[in-house]
Amino acid sequence: MESLPTKDAERGVSFTVADFLEAGRERLGLSLSVDGGGLDRVIAEPTVNRLGLGLTGFFKCFAHRRLQVVGNAERAYLASLSPSERDSRFRAVLDHGARIFVYTGGHKAPAGVTRLVEEYGAVLLQTKLATRVFNRDATFVLEELGAPRTSIYGTMVEVCGLGVLFEGDPGLGKSETALGLIKNGAALVADDLTCVRKDVAKNMLFGSASESTAGFMEIRGIGIMHVPRVFGVNAVRGEKRLQLVITFRRMEDIHADIDRIGQKRMYRRILGVDVPNVIIPVSEGRDLVNLVETAAQQQKLISTGYDPVADLSGRLRRRAVPADGTKRRGKRNGK
């Protein structure tokens, strides 16, 4: 499987305050109150921090690299101080490295705070969302922006409820197999190039198409087709968890290495996550659609803990050694 090169892919993607503002305009209702020239600043720790203790002057373990949220409690505390004391407390927060602030609940910062934000080249955002709602939703936006990502040359389809990625050399029938599966009720995720992101919290991978190619397939002899217009909207998925990688290889290239009983479990490591991997030999006359469907069903069964090889092995041992402990003997002399 060939992946497009991404710098430090497993450690996540760097993004700026401007990226967060753009991603959060609709979902978080974010707007820019003060741009102190810090929109290009990289958000080093993609999570939020309540500013409360920092305003009281307690800076031990102060998470200054995070987004600093100013909610009702912080505003009430600042309002209880004189303007000079309020500005002094906020300046101390800035002196300790905080540079990104968000006022929640639709409230605006006092003039003194606004001046300090501009003076330090910081950024001040505001949202109408309540603090608890903003903290929850902002965490999702930040995690998605910074999630480790890569792009893989391969076609991904939802088969039997499983996200399955096909890989292999050009001309082995990846798109044609996907088309046959779609006609059998499967759904296209991405054709030819699959974008993969990692959910760090759950240690899971999710695949999707690029924004420009979502829903499209290229079939040799037919050309470009738009899957939802041909087969309906249920024939596509925006994003699906990646749970199985199927490698198509020519029979002559792997004839000596074929695992006939499936005893050896293989995995493909993507962004630090091991994904089950099955190699399917391709030769004239083989029904790849049927084989892929069967491989997906088999993987679903294995994921529940069932091991068909171990089951069969146990049955053969029990057949060879009856309950009384004596070994079965073969028939001799026709008896």
Q: Which two tokens stand for residue 9?
A: 């892919």
* H or E, element range at 207: strand 204-208
Domain containing residue 225: CATH number: 3.40.50.300
Would 70 be classed as within a structural domain? yes
Would 109 be classed as within a structural domain? yes
Q: What's the pLDDT score for residue 332?
A: 52
CA gap 124, 32 in Å, rounded: 6
Q: Which domain holds residue 214?
A: 149-315
Q: What's the pLDDT score for residue 127?
A: 96
Handedness of CA 280, 282, 283, 284 (dihedral sign): positive
Same domain, 79 and 128: yes
Q: What are phi and psi of 20, to 5 degrees?
A: -65, -40
Same domain, 142 and 154: no
Q: What are phi and psi of 206, to 5 degrees?
A: -130, 135
Q: How far is CA 263 from the centre of its chain?
A: 30
Residue 11 has pLDDT above 90, yes or no: no
Same domain, 91 and 196: no
What's the structural domain count of the chain? Answer: 2
Same domain, 56 and 155: no
Instruction: Name the least confident of 147-161, 167-181, 254-268.
Output: 254-268
Kindly give, in sequence order, each residue whose CB lies less than 8 Å from that of residue 280, ignoring residues fewer than 6 positions away.
Answer: 246, 247, 248, 249, 288, 291, 292, 295
Chain-wide mean pLDDT for the chain?
88
- The stretch 232-261 carries a mean pLDDT of 85
- The stretch 211-230 carries a mean pLDDT of 93
- The stretch 111-132 carries a mean pLDDT of 94
Instruction: Name the least confident of 52-56, 98-102, 285-289, 317-321.
Output: 317-321
